[in-house]
């Protein structure tokens, strides 16, 4: 079933995002009086084609990894004087800028619509209550304690852990003070806690901001009985089995799964003795833990999981907006994710974030399948994030991408004459090489993750 979700989710996501992006170009081109010859979703052999009353050919092609809008252009063949009036390259530079920019703008508008819908659908998520503060962590040094509820990060209000993760990821790779406002649940006055970051998460291949700061979210008490095992993890290799009940580690009693997690995460790359109860017998099993997360502050990894319990209602936060209020929420979320995406690209270029965080088509397909399987809200959220990523990437000033064309046309607007064909050709060649290198690197990252 997961494979079907992956296939369906990927095709639907790419189909929607590519169609909307290209429709942005198409719609503005038509408004500017440009004749559109072909509107294609996908590349390669056409699977389906039809024509409208303007003579535009619409195509759904076999390779669903993009699309294009082909417009009448005198650079691709001789045109009559009458046809030149409808050619793209005979339009004013302002009109050409509008046509090229319309694709990415359409992606941002689509993300806004999805976030607007999500705001009206509402969300339910755990309140950001700290369950545990890891010893000797940045959070402990700042004075944060279990039981406090986080209300703001760097002055930005947060509602749940998803908001907190977004705000923390924005600070990845940075040096400086991080302010966390937290209060006792039920109180209205928060206390500010300052955490000193020093190239925090710089170069980390697996971003885990909460654990890196030493914060473990509060969760209902879960019995330390194993229900999941990573076949490549330390627990499985040591001989632990599903349904084993962990009684103690290194002689310390474990009353809940959260105590197990906290103890294990504080022991990266160390051996621990795990006392379990199996079929009414007690067994002492040595396990050599592995490590995950930031190399400068790794956390221990057992490779096992336990089933969660039901959440009490007072530990959940319910958020829903009306149609009008959802407009502001959708716009704010679109702006936040767009700026974070652009900042992440900048940090990768300057080495503040590891380039191994770059994902390719395999990762996108996996996330598309998982989000589709999780439900409508999860899938809409994924589509919104992916649409923003597509919009931001296309606006980068790289020839071949929309942003590269915008750069050339902006220079033409300022100079009063076009950039020479020779420079544009060089730019296109460099752009193609750069884009191909990035794509190969992203695919390589996907394969290494597999």
What is the chain's alpha carbon radius of gyration, rounded to the nearest angstrom? 26
In three-state secondary structure terms, 250 is: coil
Distance from the first to the final alpha carbon of the chain: 19
Q: Is 24 exposed, middle or buried (0-12, 13-18, 19+ CB in 10 A)?
A: buried
Q: Pick the catalytic residue: 22, 149, 259, 352?
A: 22
Torsion-angle region of 44 (φ positive above 0: left; ψ -120 to 50: alpha; else: beta): left
Cα separation, 265 vs 260, whole angstroms: 9
Annotation marks residue 22 as catalytic: yes
Cα separation, 27 vs 66, whole angstroms: 18
CA atoms within 13 A on the CB side of 183: 11
Question: What is the residue whose two structure tokens read 């046309």?
Answer: 409
Residues 66, 393 contacting (CB under 8 angstroms): no
Q: Give backbone dihedrals phi and psi of 298, rounded to 5 degrees, phi first.
A: -75, 160
Residues 364, 386 contacting (CB under 8 angstroms): yes
In three-state secondary structure terms, 49 is: strand
Q: Give backbone dihedrals phi and psi of 9, rounded to 5 degrees, phi first.
A: -65, -40
Catalytic residues: 22
């Amino acid at each position: 079933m997961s494979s079907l979700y992956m296939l369906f989710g990927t095709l639907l996501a790419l189909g929607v995002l590519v169609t909307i992006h290209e429709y942005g170009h198409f719609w503005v081109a038509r408004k500017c009086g440009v004749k559109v010859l072909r509107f294609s979703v996908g590349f390669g052999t056409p699977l389906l084609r039809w024509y409208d009353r303007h003579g535009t050919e619409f195509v759904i092609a076999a390779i669903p990894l993009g699309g294009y809008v082909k417009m009448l252009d005198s650079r691709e063949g001789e045109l009559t004087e009458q046809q030149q009036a409808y050619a793209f390259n005979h339009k004013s530079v302002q009109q050409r800028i509008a046509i090229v920019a319309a694709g990415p703008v359409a992606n941002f508008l689509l993300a806004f619509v999805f976030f607007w819908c999500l705001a009206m659908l509402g969300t339910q998520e755990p309140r950001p209550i700290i369950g545990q503060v890891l010893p000797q962590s940045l959070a402990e040094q700042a004075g944060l304690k279990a039981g406090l509820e986080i209300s703001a990060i760097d002055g930005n209000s947060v509602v749940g852990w998803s908001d907190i993760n977004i705000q923390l990821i924005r600070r990845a790779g940075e040096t400086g003070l991080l302010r966390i406002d937290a209060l006792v649940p039920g109180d209205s006055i928060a206390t500010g806690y300052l955490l000193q970051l020093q190239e925090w998460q710089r170069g980390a291949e697996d971003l885990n901001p909460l654990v890196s700061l030493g914060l473990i979210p509060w969760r209902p008490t879960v019995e330390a009985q194993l229900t999941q095992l990573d076949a490549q993890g330390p627990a499985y290799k040591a001989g632990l089995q599903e349904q084993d009940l962990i009684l103690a580690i290194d002689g310390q009693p474990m009353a809940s799964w959260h105590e197990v997690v906290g103890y294990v995460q504080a022991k990266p790359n160390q051996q621990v003795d795990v006392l379990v109860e199996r079929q009414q017998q007690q067994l002492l099993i040595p396990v050599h833990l592995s490590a995950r997360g930031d190399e400068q502050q790794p956390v221990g990894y057992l490779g096992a999981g336990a089933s969660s319990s039901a959440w009490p209602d007072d530990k959940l936060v319910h958020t829903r907006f009306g149609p009008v209020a959802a407009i502001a929420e959708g716009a704010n979320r679109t702006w936040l994710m767009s700026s974070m995406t652009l900042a992440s690209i900048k940090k990768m270029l300057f080495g503040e974030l590891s380039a191994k965080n770059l994902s390719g088509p395999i990762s996108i397909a996996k996330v598309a399948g998982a989000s589709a399987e999780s439900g409508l809200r999860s899938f809409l959220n994924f589509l919104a994030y992916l649409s923003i990523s597509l919009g931001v990437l296309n606006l980068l000033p790289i020839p071949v991408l929309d942003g590269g064309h915008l750069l050339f046309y902006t220079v033409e607007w300022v100079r009063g004459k076009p950039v020479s064909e020779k420079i544009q050709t060089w730019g296109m060649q460099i752009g193609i090489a750069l884009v191909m290198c990035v794509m190969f690197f992203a695919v390589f990252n996907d394969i290494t993750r597999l």
